[in-house]
Amino acid sequence: MNVEVRDLSLRYGEVTALDRLSFELAEGKIYGLLGRNGSGKTSLMSVLAAFRKQTAGAVRVGGRPVWENAAVTSQVCLIRDTGETVDLGTAGDALYFAEWLRPHWDARLAKELMTLFGLKPKVNVTSMSKGQRSAMGVVVGLASRAPLTMFDESYLGMDAPSRQAFYDVLLADYMEHPRTIILSTHLIEEVSPLFEEVVIIDEGRLVVHEERERLLDRGNAVTGPAAAVDAFVGGLTVLGEKVLGPTKSAMVYGEFDDAHRRKAAEAGLDLGPIAMQDLFIHLTGGPK
């Protein structure tokens, strides 16, 4: 399902969490939603899932407003960082409830994922560890196959092998059953290979909405003899530097054209990509 957000604002009393946000997400892609702590990611996803009503502006999912619209909300699944929202009863009860609620539910996938993450249907959700609860959320989020599926840092409590299993299953299932998926995360380097497009917000406002590859084009790592690197990057926006013996690597913000590339080659310098995390830190104003 596509998503249209127009001049969206959300206020909690005096606090403005979303500030006239506008963007459109096409159907059937995986989006990364990035932002500093308190930038408005959870607030935005809560409005998209109709958990909260916006203060102003419009939100349409699949061309229709989401608020108090059961026909749309049954197609939208938001899994929050606390894992699955159903805290009463066993894991089996949570799956039963999700199946009842979710029109595209795949019980076979749910069962496979329960086994993959070592979850037992008879165990009470409240007695699960943090990572197990996160994994429960992931099971429900994936098996729901909702046309708009959002994971709000839901996999944060999971250990590294479980997170990797989640990324692998998400990608494989998305290839077979394309849908719109939004992943919010602070583990930028780990999760960003999954993104097709990236939305960055800061203080409730849109900073960037771009294809992942285009965003990465905004930065370059310049590596070579320290003196040559210093001469090359003079006057450019340098985000950081690393020195290893006589070799230096400088991360530069800004796209390079053919002239830059020629000059770098003549100076014996290598140009390479920089990490999305470094671009993110720069675009959201550096350390605060």
Ligand X SMILES: Nc1ncnc2c1ncn2[C@@H]1O[C@H](COP(=O)(O)OP(=O)(O)OP(=O)(O)O)[C@@H](O)[C@H]1O
Q: By C-beta, is 39 or 223 nearer to ligand X? A: 39
Contact partners, residue 48, CB within 8 Å, separation at least 6? 3, 5, 59, 61, 66, 76, 78, 148, 150, 182
Report the residue from 3, 42, 157, 162 that binds ligand X according to the rule CB under 6 A: 42
Would you give the DSSP letter of residue 105? -
Q: By C-beta, is 35 or 83 nearer to ligand X? A: 35
Ranges within 93-152 binding ligand X (CB under 6 A): none
Report the residue from 7, 15, 87, 237 that binds ligand X according to the rule CB under 6 A: 15
- Which tokens belong to 258? 């053919």
**Residue pair 279/249 in contact by the 8 Å Cβ criterion:** no
Based on the shown chain and the rule CB under 6 A, indicate whether residue 38 belongs to the binding site for ligand X.
yes
Based on the shown chain and the rule CB under 6 A, indicate whether residue 32 belongs to the binding site for ligand X.
no
Report the residue from 40, 83, 137, 219 that binds ligand X according to the rule CB under 6 A: 40
Does residue 285 come out as left (phi exceeding 0), alpha (psi in the -120 to 50 range) or beta? left
Report the residue from 3, 8, 43, 219 that binds ligand X according to the rule CB under 6 A: 43
Closest CA to 140 of 168, 172, 105: 105
Q: By CB under 6 A, which span of 39-47, 119-127, 157-165, 276-284 interacts with ligand X?
A: 39-47
Closest CA to 252 of 224, 227, 270, 279: 279
Write down the least CB distance from residue 83 to ligand X, Å: 15
Would you give the DSSP letter of residue 27? S
Based on the shown chain and the rule CB under 6 A, indicate whether residue 41 belongs to the binding site for ligand X.
yes
Q: By C-beta, is 42 or 132 nearer to ligand X? A: 42
Q: Binding residues for ligand X, per CB under 6 A?
A: 12, 15, 17, 35, 37-43
